A and B are shown apart, each in its own frame.
Chain A
Amino acid sequence: MSVLEVKHLRKSFGSVKAVQDISFAVEGGEVFTIIGPNGAGKTTTLEMIEGLVKPDGGSISFGGLTWEKDAETIKKMIGVQPQSESMFDLLTPKENLELFASFYDRPMRPVEILETVNLLDHCNKKVKVLSGGQRQRLAIGLAMIGDPKILFLDEPTTGLDPQSRRNIWDIVLRLKEMGKTTILTTHYMEEAEKLSDRVCIVDQGKVIALDTPSALIGKLTEERELRLSFFDGEEAAMDVERFVRAHSWAVRMERDGKYLAVWTVQPEDMLHSLFGYTKERGYRVDQVSIREMSLEDVFIACTGKEWRD
């Protein structure tokens, strides 16, 4: 059963239509990711679901509960980590957690949270001296303190270094193990691909694609990009280029010196014959790679836009 169902959400700020028509349903225990370019309406959508912004139209239901009738109950079952760093700078992580814990009936123990978000070593420092990654982890901890069913994480890794980003991925995966439902927005395709059960691509206030990451990529295209380079230099590359063209395997080809790039819909057949040919001619292949299609390609195909981090 869906823990959250959103139907035909709409919201305008003045003449700006931030959200035009967004519908989706989130199942219990999944990591559901909303991605989209800046200004696509991700944050507005989240804020409507979190009860901060009143939608102009559409409905939001938490397994039958709505903001109009059950605000207090909903507040107790959700945990929110907003985009801005919203915590008390002059308090320590432990004190922040203790304060937030007092808002809930059955909170988790602050120590438990500190352990989960890996902040036990820093629990007695003031928040204002913590690093960006540590603060972000505390923000997630604060979202978890009420032991919520559903967690909202709004761009939890934006602006963090790779190590801190990985720490946060670990936390999200741990939340999944705990059986929590997580609704995530992110700027990073790699992140969406790694963490999500399902991805919802939003652009200009509308849902343009929604499926598992692999299904989205699978649907995209059969075309694969092959790259080769040769120890024997440009001559070998040119010869191989002629060979590939003669068999009309390539949809498109590019050559730059000893490097050759081929786009094909039959990568397996092509490679098989190609290696037969190089062996026959005595060319030594230096590097070979097949680039996998990523969510980024899906995004570009769907929106017609370059991905901007």
Chain B
Amino acid sequence: MNRGNQLKQMFLSQSRMLLREKQVWFWGIFFPVILMVIFMVIFSDGSDDEFRVKVVLAEKEGAESAALRERIKHIPVFEFVEADPVPVEKAENMVKEKEAAAAIVLSGEGEPVTLIVNKENERSTSSMTVQGILNQLVQQANLEAAGASPVYQMQTMSVSSGEDDLDYQDFLLTGMIALSIAQGGIFGMVDFVEMRRKGLLKRLRMTPAKMGLFGFSDMLVRFIFSVFQIILLSLIGVFFFGATLHVEPVSLIIIFVIGIMAFHAIGYFFSSFSKTSEAFFGVANIVNFLMMFLSGVFFPIESMPGWLQPVSDILPLTYFVNGLRDSMVYAQGVATLPFWIGIGVLVVWGAAAFALGTLLYRNNRSIAAR
């Protein structure tokens, strides 16, 4: 028998089936792309789009505060709704109507500078920012009035373990890639449930077809599809949202291959005890949602409550996300301990799921064949 021709026909057939399956297009391509675009639009402050707060200046009658006013006007974060100071009452109304985030009321020397904010937004970032800036300004003015110069000064600097230009885009992009590959792996295995339900596995066993070859070409098709996913998502992330990648090819290939196999094995395990595709999707969805939010796809695990973090520590997606991030963004090579711990956890998950699934398939065989 011509194995080459058999493999070619199997590969062709499986590629066609994959591309003709609408579910694959939706969950494999559209869903991750849409989700990524939404999250990026919401959470990434575009780099050219600076943070601005709308404020209004008000002056009490007869206030002597020209110097302070000039100084406030030069703070770049503030965007003034009115060019000139307005009466206090008008400013108050503007804050109530939310035309301005805050009103700064200047008065004569010796009297306090009042900040008016809307009660609803009392604790919002904008209000806090204005408050902070104003506080600093007043103190500085006081110091100057007293003829002193500041001894301590503060400057903020962001750091990450990788390159300097790490952004939320990069974080989210790699998370989304990991998520869509994991989802593709788990959900893709619904084919097995369908094939078994329709008696196709049985049908193939009645022919001289090499089942091992069939499984191999199936994996090959899924690998290629995942490569396509990773490239597409990366292109969107880089070109539309300015993500910056620093790829370490060797570690990327290793984590990519191990990850795909592990998540397919988990899907295979789910398929082994699901009699219908509905049952399969039920189980797969629960697991998928748990992993989606607890594995640091959208937000760092460290920002979750402490009691939840041990759950993240056992989920395979956590390690896949970290591995992909390390090899795509932080340019980490294979010579680190966390990399191999991650690989180890994924291998354990994959091997256990595969072994259990195979066991269940074997036990169900007499029933399936009846």
> Which of B12, B203, B208 meets A82, CB within 8 Å?
B203
User: A256 interface residue, CB < 8 Å from B?
Assistant: no
Contact A88 B208 (CB under 8 A): no
A51 to B206, CA, bound (A): 7
Is A85 an interface residue, CB under 8 A from the partner?
A: yes
Given A52-B205, A98-B9, A86 and B369 contact (CB-CB distance below 8 Å): no
Residue in B17, B21, B208, B209 whose Cβ sees the most chain A Cβ within 10 Å: B208
Nearest A residue to B18 via CB reads A90
A88 and B207 in contact, given A13-B366, A102-B9, A105-B1 (Cβ under 8 angstroms):
no
> Considering the complex, which residues of chain B in the window 323-370 have a beta carbon less than 8 Å from any beta carbon of chain A?
366, 369-370
Neighbour of B6 across the interface among A51, A103, A126, A146, CB < 8 A: A103
Asked whether B208 lies within 8 Å of A104 as measured between CB atoms, the reply is yes
Work out how many contacts link A and B, with CB atoms closer than 8 A.
82
For the complex, give the distance between the alpha carbons of A98 and B10 in Å.
10
Q: Is the CB of A146 within 8 A of B207?
A: yes
Question: Are the C-beta atoms of B1 and A103 separated by less than 8 Å?
Answer: yes
A90 to B198 alpha-carbon distance, docked (Å):
13
- B17 and A52 contact, CB distance less than 8 A: no
* Chain B neighbourhood of A51, CB < 8 A: 206
A47 to B370 Cα, complex, angstroms: 8
Q: Which residues of chain B have C-beta atoms less than 8 A from A83's C-beta?
A: 199
Query: In the complex the two chains form, is B5's CB within 8 Å of A102's CB?
Result: yes
User: Is the CB–CB distance between A84 and B370 below 8 Å?
Assistant: no
B366 contact set on A, CB distance < 8 A: 13, 53
Known: A53-B369, A53-B370, A75-B207. A102 touches B8 (CB 8 A): yes
Chain A, range 199-226, C-beta contacts under 8 Å to B = none
Task: Assess whether B13 is in contact with A99, with CB atoms less than 8 Å apart.
Answer: yes
Complex interface bits, B189-208 against A, C-beta within 8 A gives 1, otherwise 0: 00000000011101101111
Interface residues of B in 1-37 (CB under 8 A from A): 1-2, 5-6, 8-10, 12-13, 16-17, 20-21
CA of A98 to CA of B370 in the docked complex: distance in angstroms?
Answer: 28
**Inter-subunit contact B199/A44 (CB<8 Å):** no
Query: Which residues in window 58-93 of A have CB below 8 A to B?
Result: 72, 75-76, 78, 80, 82-91
List residues of chain A with CB within 8 A of the CB of B16.
Answer: 90-91, 95
Using A13-B370, A88-B13, A90-B16 as known contacts, say yes or no to A104 and B205 having CB atoms under 8 A apart: no
Please tell me the number of chain A residues within 8 Å of chain B, measured between CB atoms.
Answer: 33
* Closest Cβ–Cβ distance, residue B365 to chain A (whole Å): 10
Task: List residues of B (244-259) whose CB comes within 8 Å of A's CBs.
Answer: none
A residues less than 8 Å from B209 (CB atoms): 100, 103
- Selected from B10, B17, B208, the residue in CB contact (under 8 A) with A75 is B208
What are the residues of chain A within 8 A of B8 when measuring CB–CB?
102
Q: Is the CB of A76 within 8 A of B206?
A: no
Contact of A103 with B208 in the complex, beta carbons under 8 Å: yes
Are the C-beta atoms of B206 and A99 separated by less than 8 Å? no
In the complex, whether A30 has a CB less than 8 A from a CB of chain B is: no
Question: For the complex, what is the distance from the CA of A103 to the CA of B7, rounded to whole Å?
Answer: 10
The contact sample of 17 A-B pairs, CB cut-off 8 A, is A52-B202, A52-B205, A75-B207, A75-B208, A78-B206, A85-B198, A85-B199, A87-B203, A90-B17, A91-B13, A95-B16, A99-B12, A99-B13, A100-B209, A101-B9, A102-B2, A103-B1
Known pairs A80-B203, A86-B203, A100-B207. 7 more at Cβ < 8 A? Answer: A13-B366, A85-B198, A90-B21, A91-B13, A102-B9, A103-B207, A104-B1
